[in-house]
Amino acid sequence: MNSPKNPETSGRNGRVLDLLNEDADRSAVASFVELCRQSTALRGWLWQEFAASPKTRVNFARFLDTPESAAADCRDVLAQLAGEGKAFAQEKGRLKRKAPGNAVRAFGGLSRQEVEHLCRHYQAGSFDLGAFLLVRAWRQLARDASDIPVPVARASVAFLADAISGRRSDLLKRLVKVAGYFDRHEVGKIDRITYGHAQWWKLCVLLYLLNHPKPSYRTSELCAYLKEQRLKVDPRDIRAFCAKHSIARDSHAGRPRKV
């Protein structure tokens, strides 16, 4: 006869206990395998560069021995370790030139990433932005997902490190608050009523920028777009919004006079 399971060491609690007690090397290997599953770039580098080039292996060993080694783009690291950093940089530049919509500062003086960050900021509203983004990312995963995307896992670790190691228990309270919000509102179906007028029109302007990249925007152009969305916004508020986020406005002759 099987003995009854201890609720304290079964299910989720048992999973946490097992992972925390797991041998460091075994855990590292499991993480490595998961990384290779999710990254074709990493697999390609291991198969082609690391396996075939003794110089690359030496460079990688040296890189691992230097804790402060870091780069904004991990693909830059892999290219540099293989001695192809210059060629990789040239190729990135070529691709960027072919995609004007993704060019640096193509959205009224802002980059696509900066506009997307502003979208997330206004989506979060009064919530802590980090907590909002983290809960949103987890809620977008399938309920039974066993493979957690690396970006979500890394962001989760960073947030917990700030909350626990940094003795910021208030961050956990913010996380619970956002989770409660998403319990009431399905991810991807948060509408104008939920956000409120002030947040909604700003999100609409930012989405317009993403869909219409150009060096600058006329206030009348943004007003007209908002009107199409059945949003009436004072042009002065639009100008103030653009000024706040350094979004360039078209000031050529013939622009409607300020009101």
Measured at the CA of 151, the angle between CA 127 and CA 103, to 5 degrees, comes to 85
User: Which pLDDT tens digit goes with each residue over 195-244?
Assistant: 666 788 998 999 999 999 999 999 999 999 999 988 899 999 999 999 99
Q: With contact defined as beta carbons under 8 Å apart, do 209 and 247 qualify?
A: yes
Give the span between the Cα atoms of 259 and 10, in whole angstroms: 66
**pLDDT number for residue 216:** 92
Give the span between the Cα atoms of 217 and 234, in whole angstroms: 16
Give the span between the Cα atoms of 145 and 126, in whole angstroms: 29
**Reported pTM:** 0.65
| Domain assignments of the chain as residue spans, ordered by start | 11-98, 112-192, 194-244
Residue 243: HSE in the Cβ half-sphere, 13 Å Cα cutoff: 6
Q: Which amino acid is at 255?
A: R
Residue (of 128, 124, 122, 133) closest to 199 by Cα position: 122
Residue 202: HSE in the Cβ half-sphere, 13 Å Cα cutoff: 25
pLDDT in tens, the chain (259 residues): 454 555 555 677 777 788 788 888 888 888 888 889 888 988 988 998 888 888 888 888 888 887 665 544 566 666 666 666 555 455 455 445 555 444 567 899 999 889 988 988 888 877 888 888 898 888 888 665 667 888 888 889 989 999 998 888 899 999 999 888 888 776 555 555 556 667 889 989 999 999 999 999 999 999 999 999 888 999 999 999 999 999 999 876 555 555 4
Reading the block at residue 179, the tokens are 């989770």
**pLDDT number for residue 145:** 62
Give the span between the Cα atoms of 208 and 87, in whole angstroms: 35
DSSP state of 50: I
Residue (of 222, 228, 226) closest to 256 by Cα position: 222
Residues 6+ apart with CB under 8 A from 61: none
Rounded to the nearest angstrom, the gap between the alpha carbon of residue 236 and the centroid of all alpha carbons in its chain is: 31
By three-state DSSP, how is residue 48 classified? Answer: helix
Per the rule left: phi > 0, alpha: psi between -120 and 50, beta: everything else, 167 is: left
Residue (of 108, 74, 86, 60) closest to 216 by Cα position: 108
Give the span between the Cα atoms of 196 and 243, in whole angstroms: 22
**pLDDT number for residue 1:** 46
Q: With contact defined as beta carbons under 8 Å apart, do 205 and 235 qualify?
A: no
